[in-house]
Structure 1
Amino acid sequence: MASKLKALQSKACQASQLISKHGSGYYKQLLEQNKQYIQEPATIEKCNLLAKQLLYTRLASIPVRCEAFWKELDYVKHLWRNRQDLKVEDAGIAALFGLECYAWYCAGEIVGRGFTFTGYSV
């Protein structure tokens, strides 16, 4: 156990040195590449305005998202009505989608329990 702790400390030290050496250069490069997205001057009022614009833009997109949802639902209903015409590929995709939903549910349960598998924390 102590050797694993020493190895972990060594890796953390190496990562810290790498970040301190190259971090500011990466930060400057990232800002330079994305300068068209930076608002000048960066004031509290401007940040509040952008936050409100994001919120209301998202709210305005809800009807479009609802319409897309109902179209998808109609497509699924159509597929279910004509299920005898389904291909093996379509059934496989549906099964994989169901499996993925179940896996995300299980992962959410594990995260909700504090990353324990049995529900008991040690």
Structure 2
Amino acid sequence: MASKLVQLQTKACKASQLVAKHANSYYKELLEENKQYIQDPPTIQKCDLLAKQLFATRLASIPGRYEAFWKELGYIKNLWKNRQELKVEDAGIAALFGLECYAWFCGGEIVGRGFTFTGYYV
């Protein structure tokens, strides 16, 4: 057990040295690649303005999202109305989507409980 701890410490030390060596150049390269997105001068007032613009833009996108939601719901209602003509592929996709939603729900529940599994004695 102690030897594994020493190996882990050695690997962590090497990883931190690697990060320390290359982090500055990676940071500068990342800033250079994304300089068109950087606001000059970087002031608190500019950040407030950008936050307000983002909020207003999100608010302005609500009607389009609302319309898309109702269009999608109409499509699903039409599929349900004509379910006799439903293909196996469409049913499979719907089943996978439902399974994925359930899995995300279960994952969220586990994360919400602090990554604990209740009801199981292991």
> Shared fold by TM > 0.5?
yes
Q: Give the counterpart letter for 1:105 in structure 2.
A: F
Query: Partners in 1 of 2:76 and 2:2 — Cα distance?
Result: 56
What are the Cα deviations for residues 74-122 of structure 1, in whole angstroms up to 9, with x where unaligned? 00000000001111110000000000000000000000110011279xx
User: 1:30 — aligned with what?
Assistant: 30
RMSD: 1.5
Question: Residue 13 of structure 2 aligns with which residue?
Answer: 13
**CA separation of 1:18 and 1:51: change in aligned 2, threshold 3 A:** same
Cα distance, 1:55 vs structure 2? 0.8
Pick which of 64-73 and 11-20 moved more: 11-20
- Measured in 1, the distance between the counterparts of 2:82 and 2:74 equals 12
Q: For the residues of structure 2 that align with 1:4 and 1:101, how far apart are their CA atoms?
A: 40
Q: C-alpha distance in 2, partners of 1:21/1:98?
A: 46
Output the amino acid matched with 2:36: Q
- 1:54 matched to 2:54? The reply is yes
Count of residues in correspondence between the two structures = 120
Does the Cα contact within 8 Å between 1:113 and 1:119 map onto a contact in 2?
no
Q: Secondary structure at the match of 1:55?
A: helix
Deviations 1:15-61 (A, max 9, x none): 21111011111111111011000000101100100011001111111
In 2, the alpha carbon distance for the partners of 1:11 and 1:118 equals 34
TM (normalized to structure 2)? 0.91
Distance 2:68 2:4 in 1: 51
| More divergent stretch after superposition (5-14 vs 72-81) | 5-14
Equivalent residue for 2:96?
96
Structure 2: 5+ residue stretches without partners: none
- SS state at 2:42 partner: coil
> Which blocks of at least 5 consecutive residues in structure 1 are unaligned?
none
CA contact (8 A) 1:110 1:116 kept: yes
User: What code does the residue aligned with 2:110 have?
Assistant: I
Partner AA of 1:25 in structure 2? S
